[in-house]
């Protein structure tokens, strides 16, 4: 068990860190339109804003259910 704690576990942690670092760093080489964050549509934004107002929660939920049916 001490072999695992001294050699395998630290190696696994460093390997995961390097993999995450590689995944984040590879964005430099992507085309500029793919490296940007995902766009947020104005309809989704209006739904979030309307959820913050307590009187309009029901109407927002009706609109959302209509999209999925």
Q: What is the pLDDT of residue 44?
A: 65
DSSP 27: G
Highest mean pLDDT among 4-13, 31-40, 49-58: 4-13
Query: Quick one: CA torsion of 17, 20, 24, 27, rounded to 10 degrees?
Result: 130
- pTM of the entire predicted model: 0.45
CA atoms within 13 A on the CB side of 2: 0
Question: Alpha-carbon distance 46 to 43, whole Å?
Answer: 5
Residues 51, 57 contacting (CB under 8 angstroms): yes
Q: DSSP secondary-structure letter at 30?
A: S
Look at residue 63 in the predicted model and tell me its pLDDT.
53
Average pLDDT, the chain: 74
For residues 67 and 4, the model is more confident at: 4
């Amino acid at each position: 068990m001490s072999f695992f704690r001294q050699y395998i576990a630290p190696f696994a942690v460093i390997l995961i860190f390097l993999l995450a670092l590689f995944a984040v760093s590879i964005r430099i080489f992507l085309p500029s339109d793919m490296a940007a964050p995902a766009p947020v549509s104005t309809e989704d934004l209006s739904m979030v804003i309307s959820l913050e107002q307590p009187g309009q929660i029901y109407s927002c939920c009706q609109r959302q259910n209509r999209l999925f049916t």
